[in-house]
Amino acid sequence: MATQIQQAERFLALHHQPQPLLLPNPWDLGSAKLLAWLGFSALATTSSGFAATVGRLDGEVTRDEAIDHAAAVVRATDLPVSADLENGFSDTAAGVAETMELAAVAGLAGCSVEDFTGREDDPIYDKSLAAERIAAAAEVAASGPIRLVLTARAENYLHGRPDLADTIARLQAYQEAPGGELGRPAGERPGLAGRPADIRAGRGGGAPRVGRRLVRLRRARRHGPGRHRTARAGHIRVREPRCSRARGCNGSLQVATPAT
């Protein structure tokens, strides 16, 4: 079995091949095994997909639960695995660094840390604090016996702040940290030259346009929680005709959909 460092090196090498790395998001062990069987080169966990499997919304899973889930996905296949670790499960740089250490112990090849605070009234960390948090994460990711491919995510466009200049400034601040890759949701494209970039493709505006540019950019593209939502929607469609005929049922279903 490959060591954690070997998997991290393998994962990083996948970002530098001629074709873009297509990174699907399993939400449980079965989907991880299925995606490996389908021939994908690496996997990345989805915070919202995993939360849904335990009956919660995105952001309601604890750090220990997320790490345990990621470790189980690592053990499910022999592929490198990157984990969606939300905001590092801490507001502080020290807390994010501790999360990175736990990620390495879990056997992860990489992980992502975002600048979304988890608070809708104040959704994005101040740029200087966000950069400090990424620097702390990167220091752990590149130190000692640990090697992790760190994805630094700028979340402005996911949380009602379509500020391209600020998004670029954040990514530029993050790239001062050693190693890693820059991550942002699909949308308007900032300058990505010279650094691996992770682009999340989803149903939001700009995804198809960015997707067509990936080959030229040689970047990674991850699906986000789309596969899980599609599977869940299939169950709802199967259920709807039965529901509409059931006594006391008005034929409508309300489904709580995670934000990311």
Decide if 210 contacts 186 (C-beta within 8 A). yes
pLDDT in tens, 227-247: 556 655 554 454 444 433 333
How much helix, strand and coil, in percent to the nearest 5, is found in the chain? Answer: 45, 15, 45
Give 36-90 as a 3 state SS string: HHCCCCCEECCHHHHHHHCCCCCCCCCHHHHHHHHHHHHHHCCCCEEEECCCCCC
* Rounded distance between C-alpha atoms, residue 94 and residue 132, angstroms: 10
First to last CA, the chain: 33
Query: What phi and psi values does residue 75 have, to the nearest 5 degrees?
Result: -70, -20
> Mean pLDDT lowest for which of 67-76, 103-112, 213-222?
213-222
Whether the per-residue pLDDT at 183 is higher than 60: the answer is: no
Residue 226 clears pLDDT 70, i.e. is over it: no
The CATH class for the domain spanning 4-224 reads: alpha beta
- 56-107 pLDDT, tens per residue? 999 999 999 999 999 999 999 999 999 999 999 999 999 999 999 999 999 9
In the predicted model, is pLDDT for residue 126 greater than 90? Answer: yes
Span 104-132, mean pLDDT? Answer: 96
